[in-house]
Each structure stands twice: as structure tokens, then as C-alpha cells.
């Protein structure tokens, strides 16, 4: 989903909460689900109503841009985000392998 100032992106095989916590450690603010579900532990009813699978909803992260957002800040997110998502994905694969489930 995308508005002119908000993007909701899903990262396959990455739990949104893990991604948000790690982004925060890098100074990047993001949220999971829809804005009207802020603070909720339930799946976003908005994303579910849009037809997203529960897995996709759980991997969705919302980024908002404002008047003060700079191109340097956007570039920082674009440089920082992919390796973080890849690291979380690899950690999830390792947990599955340790549990004896197929990866």
C-alpha cells in the first residue's frame, strides 16, 4: 500500500516487530500495521481487509514521510534496511534449521 507520504512494505520471512526494533536501534522510526492499530497486538484489520495474508500482515512495516524528511534520511534507510532485513531473515532460517523443520 502506498500514499503520497506513507508506504506500507512487506518483507518476506521477516517479522515486522523484529525489523522495527532493529531499525529503531539504527535511529530509523517505523511502525507495523495500520496507523489506526497503533499499540495493538492483533493483526491490522485494515491490511486483512485489503486481502493480505496473515503472514504478509505480520511482515508489514509502515514508513511515513513528513515535511522534515530529507533525502539524506531516505538514503540512510535505503542503505540500512536491506542488510537488516537479510540478517533477520537468516536468523529466522537458522532457528527453523535448529528446530528440525525444513528451511
Which residues does 68 contact at the CB level (< 8 Å), separation at least 6? none
Full-prediction pTM beyond 0.85? no
The residue among 79, 43, 76 whose CA lies nearest residue 59 is 43
Q: Which residues are catalytic?
A: 36
Quick one: cell of 50?
Answer: 485489503
Q: Quick: pLDDT tens for 5-52.
A: 888 899 999 999 999 999 999 999 998 855 555 555 677 888 888 898
Amino acid at each position: 500500500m502506498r500514499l503520497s507520504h506513507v508506504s506500507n512494505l512487506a518483507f518476506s520471512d521477516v517479522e515486522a516487530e523484529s525489523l522495527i526494533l532493529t531499525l529503531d536501534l539504527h535511529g530509523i522510526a517505523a511502525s507495523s500495521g495500520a496507523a489506526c492499530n497503533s499499540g495493538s497486538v492483533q493483526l491490522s484489520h485494515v491490511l486483512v481487509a485489503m486481502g493480505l495474508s496473515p503472514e504478509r500482515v505480520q511482515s508489514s512495516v509502515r514508513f511515513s514521510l513528513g515535511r522534515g524528511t530529507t533525502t539524506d534520511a531516505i538514503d540512510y534507510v535505503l542503505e540500512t534496511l536491506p542488510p537488516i532485513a537479510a540478517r533477520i531473515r537468516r536468523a529466522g532460517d537458522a532457528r527453523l534449521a535448529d528446530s528440525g523443520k525444513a528451511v
